[in-house]
């Protein structure tokens, strides 16, 4: 094979040595630079095209990707790619292919016939567009053609053709209708491919042309085109061993003058690749990878020291927030450049072939060179060598993958990596081609810069300020009415929620910053902020408070860099098919989190957001909306039938019309002035909404696409995408919508952020339809008054009724669009049907989960793969997580038949985890896998949702539905309330029961925390194998360093088997050696964690009720690290009433400056105070538990235990009555250590030994295929 580009000899250069100086050395460097420039220019002006019949690309991609860099291939045209059904094959360094699938097999409907699929791969950095014209004759249903246009100063069209060999036999009923006249014949067009036609013009071994060859040759003469082939053979026949040239490349005479053709090496197919080199203008965009900080290699000590040194200097007395921000950013960036490496990941390199594979490839190539037409043995040797090379490649690929899984993925820290790989496999069929040209308004966008400009213009147009004279006048008038110069919250004294941010607030937010996030335009990352020293942290707090007190937002915080991400299943050539992801300043996000903490407290305290809104709120979720909707509809159906034409509304069986509305670009079209009016009307403090107003004003953004960046544009409307404050501001913006909708009689609103639904009910379906129309009109009027747009074409309607005739001819007009009710409706990711049996949703879940289970199966085998623990965790999140979206709301209402569909998928995942065969009994399989069946989860989740609903405030709509008592009339209708109550009864939870409130009011974040310290260790880390004596000595030594003249409190909590009869005990020792013993019941059903928290609360309350030695500090010792870790997060971060009450008691105890220290101590190691507290807790468990509160988590776990126990008993009985035995015909017996004694306790685990992965069957405990006698 001849090389396409010959490097020019480096003539005329002289070796002057490394130490020479003078003019000669400069001239030599200049000449060398000029030579490199000319060589690079020559190289860049060549377009390298490869055409190859791969005979199945999937098994040959390793060889191909190793060879392509050696020829600098820009475009690779593949025939007979033989791709899998829904995916393609990726080649590193190349964009996803342009593919034309096989038209038909040898026989009509014969899907098993080999061959087919043409594809074109374009190197990354080249811009191209797909040629969508049809280049086939109308009657041609066998030829496969695809084409691309490579853009540059002069465009080049490349057409890839595969005409399969058609032999009129009994096994082949195809007709050859190939017509070259349908092919393009432009001057800048190259056609190449496997035509399966022979002619002396391109095949020297051909004496007489065949019919296809004559047709193609005549067309070439007619179009004045030339074949580029030199006559060398490109194909070796399996039957005869003859060498022919069925592969052809051709173009116009003009283009042929600057095109060279050659043959490549043997790559594993019976065809050899063709290599075309075209002298063209530079067309490749050199994509520069963006440099990133290598934080794992950073010298953080030196970085912190540099920042401290730069920021310790005095600041000008009247420095503005902008000046302070610039100073801080420059200091951080300067230290980063010195002490944090920065670079870009190199381009993908071809994999190195396995040594055994390299030898097999060499043997195959040598055998091909030795083929002789008159020597059948040489042909057989080649075929055998070819098969052996394919087998070696397959086994080498599998071995490398198994090593990768064993060495890299079998670690607890690699769970995220495993999930990332699985998600990549799941979306393998949705491939993005970044180099493909796009069109906007009839204009072709070729370069990355043009695309970036188009994206930026589109996004800025969406977020433009819409003018509406009527609305604007009303807004201006309302602003003047509400405008005030005095903040009603702080009286302009900047106290309370308007005060400066404290260092504790800053530290709390810094602790929760997420790492590995892309920085904004200023380059500051969360890693920088988390590694600041005390001086730099004070400088950071100073600039944040300067911005807050001035009400001025630095310009860097109002800039964004937008990266378009393609949407799944959309046309990538359309700008609207991309989702904008805005990267804003991490420093700005930190300030937003501080502001959001105060805003969220005000919103929840003053109840500014209606309870119907469950989006982006603590303790609320999609389950709340779906659960309320399902139970409300079922309650309406269960009302008695109407026996009169005139009945009171809501007294007889109801019929419903459900509307799911869709706002067009809801977040991007929020008007800033109207939002300001909304915040003022709601009573948000003036200091807060003034800062927010400045934060939203003059926002600018650029778009970064590949390596290009657009110009900057102003976004005059909308909430910033990627902003931390945006969700909370939208909830306030949309707060009046729920009340507006519910003004329509019989209408209930359901809101999750911008997803809005209205449920309209009545005894008569016609009245329900009228109310649905009124609700649609109300929503459209509200949207118009707030400068928003309702997407009528995306609005859905569904009739919920027990009578099928009610669903006929139901339509509603929404924003000028007629919406017809369908058979199902998708709301918040859940597909609803007319009877709420959730059959369509279960079927869609099965289609979604089944490929996930198949992908998970690829990561394990009998003797290799992920360990069972890893598989169990991944299956719980990756498979069960998809099945249990809003499961508490819908599973109780799902029919048993549809539940069975989900059970099948969970059992399939359990077989992947355990390696058990299909004959394994279901209860044993799920127990061995450690996964609960769907039926168990249905009951436990219903109990949890019922407890959660009854823990909400009494006026919450979900609480109202949970407390409603409706007599069941329909036997086929079951909801989460009824299933949850039954689960409560089975678990022994009988009303009346006091449930701890779910949404406690946390402490105000601006209030300084009390002087409380925490310590979660006893000095040096104790090894897990430490003895009781070692732990006691370490604890005693550490406690001796604490204040001895103090009030010492020892607390402990206990529960029988960790679940029942909880007791809290505390021993208080005063400085004068007086003691007090406290015993408090913690609940009949209780966890150890809750008992520990109850003990802490009881001890603190006792200190408050019996004040003594108030001048001495308090030392509290407990053996619960989890309780101390939760309390250490601070009073504003507490999510349970117990935590809030403990912090409230701590605050009151430290009012006079008294210090409190909370210390962890090891349990049951002989510490006197801890042992005494444990005794008191055990005694407290025997006290009366009737009036003790229970929290939602405890109820959920109790219900889950109750539903799990029958399955465990059934499985253990089956395991004892059916002891393991060797499989029939097996030569190996089960080792004695895996045998199960029939007299063993039923509490022992199912598997006597847990093997690291899917071991051979003879080494695992056998689960009998015979059914359990209990079943």
State the CB neighbour count (10 A cutoff) for residue 1195. 27
3-state secondary structure of 235: strand
Say what the pLDDT of residue 1146 is: 95
Question: With 50 as the cut, is the pLDDT of residue 1232 above it?
Answer: no
Structure-block tokens of residue 1094: 């109850």
Mean pLDDT value across residues 429-450: 83
Question: With 80 as the cut, is the pLDDT of residue 554 above it?
Answer: yes
Percent of the chain at pLDDT > 90 equals 63
Mean pLDDT value across residues 697-716: 93
- The distance of Cα 715 from the centroid of its chain, to the nearest Å, equals 28
Structure-block tokens of residue 240: 């005869």
State the CB neighbour count (10 A cutoff) for residue 701. 25
Rounded to whole angstroms, the Cα distance separating 319 from 388 reads 76
β-bridge pairing 75-79 and 46-53: parallel
Mean pLDDT value across residues 1241-1262: 38
Higher pLDDT, 7 or 544: 544
- Residue owning tokens 């920088």: 528
Say what the pLDDT of residue 936 is: 92
Mean pLDDT value across residues 814-838: 94
- Contact yes or no for 268/386 (Cβ under 8 A): yes
Say what the pLDDT of residue 351 is: 59
Structure-block tokens of residue 1137: 């009433």
Angle, CA of 1048, 1051 and 1057, to the nearest 5°:
165
- Contact yes or no for 708/447 (Cβ under 8 A): yes
Mutual angle of helices 469-482 and 672-682, in 10-degree steps: 40
Question: With 50 as the cut, is the pLDDT of residue 151 above it?
Answer: yes
| Contact partners, residue 36, CB within 8 Å, separation at least 6 | none
Mean pLDDT value across residues 479-486: 88
Helix residue spans in 196-261 (DSSP H): 211-223, 253-256
Q: How sure is the predictor about 1203, in pLDDT bands with cuts at 50, 70 and 90?
A: confident
Rounded to whole angstroms, the Cα distance separating 651 from 125 reads 68
State the CB neighbour count (10 A cutoff) for residue 106. 19
Q: Which of 1000, 1056, 994, 1055 is nearest to 1190 (CA)?
A: 994
Question: With 70 as the cut, is the pLDDT of residue 1223 above it?
Answer: no
Q: What is the mean pLDDT of the chain?
A: 86
Question: With 50 as the cut, is the pLDDT of residue 1227 above it?
Answer: no
pTM, whole model, 2 decimals?
A: 0.86
Percent of the chain at pLDDT > 70 equals 89
Rounded to whole angstroms, the Cα distance separating 616 from 847 reads 29
3-state secondary structure of 1092: helix
Higher pLDDT, 626 or 34: 626
State the CB neighbour count (10 A cutoff) for residue 1012. 20
- Contact yes or no for 176/222 (Cβ under 8 A): no
Rounded to whole angstroms, the Cα distance separating 969 from 966 reads 9
3-state secondary structure of 1018: coil
Say what the pLDDT of residue 43 is: 56
Rounded to whole angstroms, the Cα distance separating 773 from 797 reads 11
Structure-block tokens of residue 322: 């902008």
Question: With 70 as the cut, is the pLDDT of residue 167 above it?
Answer: yes
- Residue owning tokens 């103090």: 1046
Question: With 90 as the cut, is the pLDDT of residue 1250 above it?
Answer: no
- Range from 300-304, 804-808, 1208-1212 carrying the lowest mean pLDDT: 1208-1212
Q: How sure is the predictor about 992, in pLDDT bands with cuts at 50, 70 and 90?
A: confident
Mean pLDDT value across residues 779-805: 94
Say what the pLDDT of residue 426 is: 81
3-state secondary structure of 180: helix
Question: With 50 as the cut, is the pLDDT of residue 92 above it?
Answer: yes
Structure-block tokens of residue 541: 């707090």
Mutual angle of helices 586-606 and 321-339, in 10-degree steps: 130
- Range from 59-73, 99-113, 240-254 carrying the lowest mean pLDDT: 99-113
One DSSP character per residue, 1200-1218 reads HHHHHHHHHHHHHHHHHHS
Q: How sure is the predictor about 71, in pLDDT bands with cuts at 50, 70 and 90?
A: very high
Question: With 50 as the cut, is the pLDDT of residue 447 above it?
Answer: yes
Structure-block tokens of residue 481: 């009415």
């Amino acid at each position: 094979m001849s090389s396409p580009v010959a490097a020019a000899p480096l003539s005329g250069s002289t070796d002057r040595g490394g130490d020479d100086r003078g003019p000669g050395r400069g001239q030599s460097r200049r000449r060398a630079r000029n030579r490199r420039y000319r060589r690079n220019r020559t190289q860049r002006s060549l377009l390298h095209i490869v055409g190859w019949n791969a005979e199945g690309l999937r098994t040959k991609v390793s060889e191909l990707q190793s060879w392509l860099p050696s020829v600098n291939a820009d475009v690779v045209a593949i025939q007979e790619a033989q791709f899998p059904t829904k995916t393609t094959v990726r080649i590193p360094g190349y964009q996803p292919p342009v593919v034309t699938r096989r038209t038909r097999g040898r026989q009509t409907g014969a899907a098993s016939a080999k061959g087919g699929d043409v594809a074109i791969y374009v190197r990354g950095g080249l811009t191209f567009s797909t040629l969508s014209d049809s280049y086939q004759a109308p009657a041609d249903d066998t030829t496969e053609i695809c084409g691309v246009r490579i853009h540059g100063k002069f465009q080049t069209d490349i057409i890839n053709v595969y005409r399969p060999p058609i032999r009129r036999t009994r096994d082949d009923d195809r007709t050859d209708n190939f017509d070259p006249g349908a092919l393009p014949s432009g001057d800048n067009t190259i056609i190449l491919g496997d035509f399966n036609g022979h002619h002396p013009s391109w095949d020297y071994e051909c004496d007489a042309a065949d019919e296809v060859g004559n047709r193609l040759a005549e067309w070439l003469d007619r179009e004045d085109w030339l074949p580029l082939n030199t006559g060398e053979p490109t194909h070796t026949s399996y039957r005869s061993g003859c060498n022919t040239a069925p592969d052809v490349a051709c173009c116009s005479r003009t283009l042929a003058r600057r095109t060279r053709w050659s043959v490549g090496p043997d790559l594993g197919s019976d065809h050899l690749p063709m290599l075309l080199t075209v002298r063209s203008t530079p067309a490749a965009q050199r994509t520069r990878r963006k440099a990133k900080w290598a934080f794992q290699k950073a010298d953080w000590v030196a970085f912190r020291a540099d920042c401290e040194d730069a920021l310790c200097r005095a600041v000008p007395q009247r420095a503005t927030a902008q000046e302070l921000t610039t100073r801080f950013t420059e200091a951080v960036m300067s230290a980063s450049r010195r002490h944090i490496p920065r670079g870009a990941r190199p381009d993908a390199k071809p994999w190195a072939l396995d040594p055994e594979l390299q030898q097999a490839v060499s043997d195959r190539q040598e055998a091909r060179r030795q083929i002789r037409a008159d020597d059948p043995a040489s042909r057989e040797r080649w075929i055998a060598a070819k098969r052996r090379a394919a087998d070696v490649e397959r086994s080498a690929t599998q071995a490398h993958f198994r090593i990768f899984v064993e060495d890299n993925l079998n670690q607890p820290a690699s769970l995220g990596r495993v999930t990332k790989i699985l998600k990549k496999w799941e979306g393998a069929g949705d491939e993005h081609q970044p180099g493909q040209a796009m069109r906007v308004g009839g204009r072709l966008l070729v370069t990355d810069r043009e695309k970036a400009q188009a994206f930026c213009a589109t996004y800025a147009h969406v977020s433009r300020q819409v003018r509406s004279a009527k609305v604007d006048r009303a807004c201006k008038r309302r602003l003047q009415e509400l405008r005030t110069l005095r903040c009603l919250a702080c009286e302009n004294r900047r106290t309370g929620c308007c005060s400066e941010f404290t260092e504790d607030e800053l530290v709390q937010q810094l602790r929760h910053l997420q790492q590995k996030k892309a920085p904004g335009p200023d380059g500051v990352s969360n890693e920088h902020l988390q590694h600041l020293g005390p001086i730099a942290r004070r400088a950071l707090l100073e600039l944040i408070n300067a911005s807050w007190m001035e009400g001025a937002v630095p310009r860097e915080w109002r800039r964004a860099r937008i990266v378009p991400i393609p949407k799944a299943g959309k046309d990538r050539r359309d700008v609207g098919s991309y989702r904008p992801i805005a990267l804003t300043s991490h420093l700005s996000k930190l300030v937003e989190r501080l502001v959001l903490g105060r805003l969220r407290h005000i919103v929840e305290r003053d109840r500014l957001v209606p309870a119907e809104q469950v989006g982006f709120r603590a303790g609320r979720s999609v389950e709340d909306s779906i659960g309320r909707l399902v139970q409300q509809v079922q309650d309406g159906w269960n009302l008695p039938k109407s026996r009169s034409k005139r009945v009171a509304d809501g007294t007889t069986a109801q019929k419903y019309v459900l509307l799911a509305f869709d706002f067009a670009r809801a977040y991007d079209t929020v008007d800033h002035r109207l939002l300001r009016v909304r915040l003022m009307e709601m009573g948000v403090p003036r200091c807060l909404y003034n800062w927010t107003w400045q934060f939203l004003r003059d926002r600018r953004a650029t778009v970064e696409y590949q390596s290009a960046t657009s110009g900057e544009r102003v976004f005059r409307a909308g909430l910033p995408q990627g902003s931390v404050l945006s969700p909370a501001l939208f909830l306030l913006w949309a707060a009046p919508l729920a009340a507006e909708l519910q003004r329509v009689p019989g209408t209930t609103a359901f809101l999750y952020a911008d997803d809005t639904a209205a449920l309209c009910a009545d005894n008569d379906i016609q009245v329900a339809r009228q109310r649905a129309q009124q609700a649609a009109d109300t929503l459209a009027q509200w949207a118009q008054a707030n400068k928003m747009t309702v997407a009528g074409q995306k609005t859905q309607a569904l009739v919920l009724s027990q009578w099928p005739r009610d669903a006929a001819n139901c339509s509603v007009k929404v924003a000028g669009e007629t919406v017809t009710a369908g058979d199902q409706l998708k709301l918040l990711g859940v597909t609803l049907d007319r009877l709420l049996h959730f059959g369509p949703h279960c079927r869609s879940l099965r289609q979604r989960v089944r490929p996930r289970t198949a992908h998970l199966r690829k990561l394990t085998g009998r003797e290799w793969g992920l360990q069972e623990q890893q598989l169990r965790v991944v299956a719980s999140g990756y498979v069960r997580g998809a099945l249990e979206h809003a499961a508490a709301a819908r599973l109780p209402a799902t029919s048993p038949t549809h539940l069975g569909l989900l059970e099948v998928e969970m059992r399939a995942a359990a077989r992947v985890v355990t390696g058990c065969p299909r004959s394994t009994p279901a209860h044993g399989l799920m127990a061995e896998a450690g996964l609960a069946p769907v039926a168990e989860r249905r009951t436990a989740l219903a109990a949890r949702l019922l407890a959660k609903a009854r823990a909400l405030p009494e006026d919450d709509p979900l609480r109202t539905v949970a407390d409603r008592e409706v007599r069941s009339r329909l036997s086929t209708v079951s909801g989460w309330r009824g299933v949850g109550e039954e689960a409560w009864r089975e678990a022994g939870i009988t009303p009346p029961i006091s449930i701890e409130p779910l949404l406690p009011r946390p402490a105000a974040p601006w209030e300084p925390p009390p002087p409380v310290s925490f310590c979660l260790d006893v000095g040096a880390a104790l090894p897990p194998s430490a003895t009781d004596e070692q732990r006691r000595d370490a604890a005693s030594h550490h406690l001796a360093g604490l204040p001895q003249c103090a009030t010492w409190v020892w607390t402990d909590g206990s529960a029988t088997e960790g679940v029942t009869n909880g007791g809290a005990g505390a021993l208080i020792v005063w400085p004068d050696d007086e003691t007090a013993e406290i015993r408090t019941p913690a609940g009949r059903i209780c966890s150890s964690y809750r008992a520990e928290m109850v003990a802490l609360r009881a001890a603190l309350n006792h200190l408050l009720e019996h004040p003594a030695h108030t001048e001495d500090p308090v030392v509290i010792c407990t053996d619960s690290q989890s309780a101390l870790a939760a309390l250490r997060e601070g009073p504003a971060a507490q999510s349970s009433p117990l935590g809030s009450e403990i912090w409230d008691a701590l605050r009151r105890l430290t009012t006079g400056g008294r210090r409190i220290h909370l210390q962890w101590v090891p349990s049951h190691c002989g510490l006197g105070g801890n042992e005494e507290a444990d005794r008191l807790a055990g005694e407290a468990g025997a006290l009366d538990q009737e009036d003790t509160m229970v929290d939602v988590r405890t109820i959920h776990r109790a219900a889950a235990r109750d539903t799990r126990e029958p399955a465990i008993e059934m499985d253990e009985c089956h395991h004892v009555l059916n002891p393991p035995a060797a499989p029939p015909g097996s030569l190996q017996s089960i080792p004695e250590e895996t045998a199960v004694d029939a007299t063993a306790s039923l509490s022992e685990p199912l598997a006597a030994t847990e093997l690291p992965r899917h071991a051979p069957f003879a080494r695992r405990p056998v689960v009998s295929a015979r059914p359990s006698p209990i079943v």
